[in-house]
Structure 1
Amino acid sequence: MVRWGATTLWMMLAATAGSAAELTLDTAYGNQQGCAYLQSGVLDSDELVYLTRRELGKYASGCEFVAVQADSHGNQRAQGICHYEGDEVLGAEDFVITPPDAAGLVRVFAANAEIWAELEPCS
């Protein structure tokens, strides 16, 4: 009985291990350059910043979300595995993403509580 339970648990964990976590967002967000990149797939500005349900990125750097939790106010904490421009190393980062305000902007805060970006909805 214990052996069957352990095997079932291991299979369930293995099935979810490769899954990316997703934010609850109604659309992608970005600055002008980030939204243009999401539409075209062309990196033509080092000022681009974008946020999708699965990732947060800047020019040649980004984080794929591996865990997402939400509080009772709609703020979401996203933990990501990140790659960095010019480096062959990986890192882990935490972000807090606010729900859209009255103007539609979302704010992304770094783990140290500093604002990382303010992003508009991409149309």
Structure 2
Amino acid sequence: MEPIASLISHSDIQQQTVAENGGFFSVALEHYAEQIGLAYQIVDDILDVSADSTVLGKTPGKDKFLGKATYVSLHGIESARALVETYRIAALESLRTFGTRAHRLHRLAESLTNRVA
């Protein structure tokens, strides 16, 4: 599990929701965490090849320099962007069960997938 997914899936939000509503909600939140964690990683890969160092706050191109396999190096930047959208939508679909109670997680998903640094 990606670090961001692990962080979300073990958060206080999940613990409280599961305690109040049971296992089905745990599965939904774990799916959300996995999907948004993947989207976050892909955005990070995209920013590494497309962002300016002053905006990014670190030296871009480091992954390529180190020879790391990234979503961008494996699939290309346009396919990587499409994957971000696919995972974002899947994450938001996971929250449908929660209705308006998941508004903060909706905002988190939007923030993580639309970030510029």
Q: Do they superpose with TM above 0.5? A: no
Structure with higher RCO (Cα < 8 A, 6+ apart):
2
Q: Which has the higher strand share?
A: 1
TM-score normalised by structure 2 residue count: 0.23
TM-score normalised by structure 1 residue count: 0.22
Q: Which has the higher helix share?
A: 2
Structure having the higher Rg: 1
